[in-house]
């Protein structure tokens, strides 16, 4: 419906001045026993099609760091900025060639603990574990219980339960317990981190590309809203320190882990400003208008969803109509 309304010229103000797009994995489509995060994966072909569709609709592609000046300018041409979270190796292997083909700048947000191989990606660990086991025993807080995993539906139910566990328990403890469970089943969570994410050398090489920028994404990828003020500030600062050590330049942008309303608060937006970030992004959906010139450390982004890899969906989302209707 949104695409049809946009083609008909309805609700033109919903598009605002432009949009920031969120990506995670960019890689060819693959199959694995369990893919609970398939919505966070798009193919290089779809990324190419998305860029071509936005170009055809008159968008100018700008670096994320240019958004403050762009919102303050009278320029009417809509803009698009591309961002990629977590620092996956496929961002350099598959996404970079697409961006380079079209001359599109992009920002990769770096989680220091992933790059240094000190922290695990609990969602990837669980996908590996639940995908290959038929049952597990785990204590969610009321004693160890057996969870059956004999069907895809049961595996997805288990993944959802673990996700709630991470959200409802002190996150560092929850992730540590998941890592311990994985190790009992012969899975090394930090090897998964090393297999999937770029290390310092790879990040430094990526940052040397003229279209690429690195941003901060905290130390441990915990929801900053659930941390104390001191912890949240330290998480953001340590990530920025790491990027500066890699590139020689202090990052101007940060992405809050998870980025939802429960994962990032007004306090965290204030912390980001005080730490000197000129731009900070959430995953709360929306397009950008002039009002965000005063909310530069709480910007919305539009996720390119792996379940909807058609150019018409990019047009619909960029129109801003789905978010306007949702409000």
Q: Whole-angstrom Cα distance, residue 137 to residue 212?
A: 44
The pLDDT score that the predictor gives to residue 12 is 63
Category of 124 on φ-ψ map: left (φ > 0), alpha (ψ -120 to 50) or beta: alpha
Helical spans, DSSP H, in 133-228: 152-168, 171-184, 189-196, 200-207
Question: Mind listing the pLDDT tens digit for each residue in 134-193?
Answer: 999 999 998 999 999 999 999 999 999 999 999 999 999 999 999 999 999 999 999 999
Which homologous superfamily is 2-118+198-326 in? Glycoside hydrolase/deacetylase (3.20.20.370)
Over residues 180-213, the pLDDT tens digits come to 999 999 999 999 999 999 999 999 999 999 999 9
Distance from C-alpha of 189 to C-alpha of 242, rounded to nearest angstrom: 22
Please state whether beta strands 135-139 and 144-148 pair in parallel, antiparallel, or not at all (unpaired). Answer: antiparallel
Residues in the chain predicted with pLDDT less than 70, given as ranges, are 1-12, 326-327
Q: Residues 269, 67, 79, 51: what is their CA dihedral angle, to the nearest 10 degrees?
A: -70
Choose among 120, 113, 258, 221: nearest CA to 180: 120
Query: What is the crossing angle of helices 229-247 and 200-207, to 10°?
Result: 70
Pull the structure tokens for residue 71.
Answer: 């919102």
CA distances from 212 to 35, 84, 219 (A): 29, 11, 21
What is the per-residue pLDDT for 327? 60
Write down the pLDDT at residue 30.
Answer: 84
Rounded distance, CA 219 to CA 264, Å?
Answer: 15
Q: Please report the sign of the dihedral spanned by the C-alpha atoms of residue 308, residue 313, residue 319, residue 322.
A: negative
Check residue 1 and give its pLDDT: 52
Q: How far is residue 274's CA from residue 152's CA, in Å, rounded to a whole number?
A: 46
Q: Are 289 and 17 in contact (CB under 8 A)?
A: yes
Q: What is the pLDDT of residue 31?
A: 83
Distance CA 82, CA 117 (A): 26
Distance separating alpha carbons of residues 298 and 85, to the nearest angstrom: 16
Give the N- to C-terminal CA distance of the chain in Å, as an integer. 16
Domain boundaries, the chain: 2-118+198-326, 122-191
């Amino acid at each position: 419906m949104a695409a049809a309304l946009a083609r008909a010229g309805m609700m033109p103000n919903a598009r605002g001045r432009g949009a920031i797009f969120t990506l995670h994995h960019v890689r060819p489509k693959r199959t694995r026993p369990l893919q609970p995060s398939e919505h966070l994966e798009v193919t290089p072909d779809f990324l190419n099609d998305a860029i071509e569709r936005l170009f055809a609709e008159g968008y100018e592609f700008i670096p994320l760091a240019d958004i403050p000046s762009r919102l303050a300018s009278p320029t009417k041409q809509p803009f698009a900025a591309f961002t990629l979270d977590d620092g996956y190796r496929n961002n350099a292997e598959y996404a970079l060639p697409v961006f380079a083909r079209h001359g599109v700048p992009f920002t990769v947000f770096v989680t220091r603990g992933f790059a240094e191989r000190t922290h695990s990606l609990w969602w990837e660990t669980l996908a590996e574990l639940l995908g290959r086991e038929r049952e597990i025993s785990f204590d969610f807080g009321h004693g160890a219980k057996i969870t059956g995993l004999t069907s895809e539906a049961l595996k997805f139910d288990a993944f959802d339960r673990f996700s709630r566990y991470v959200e409802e328990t002190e996150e560092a403890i929850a992730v540590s317990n998941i890592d311990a469970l994985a190790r009992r089943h012969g899975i090394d969570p930090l090897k998964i981190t090393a297999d999937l994410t770029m290390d310092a050398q790879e990040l430094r090489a990526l940052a040397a590309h003229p279209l690429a920028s690195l941003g901060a994404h905290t130390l441990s990828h915990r929801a900053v809203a659930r941390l104390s003020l001191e912890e949240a500030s330290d998480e953001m600062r340590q990530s920025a320190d790491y990027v500066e050590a890699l590139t020689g330049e202090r990052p101007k942008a940060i992405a809050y882990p998870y980025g939802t309303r429960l994962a990032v608060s007004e306090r965290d937006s204030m912390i980001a400003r005080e730490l000197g970030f000129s731009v900070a992004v959430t995953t709360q959906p929306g397009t950008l208008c002039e009002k965000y010139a005063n909310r530069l450390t709480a910007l919305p982004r539009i996720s390119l969803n792996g379940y909807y890899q058609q150019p018409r969906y990019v047009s619909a989302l960029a129109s801003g109509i789905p978010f306007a209707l949702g409000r």
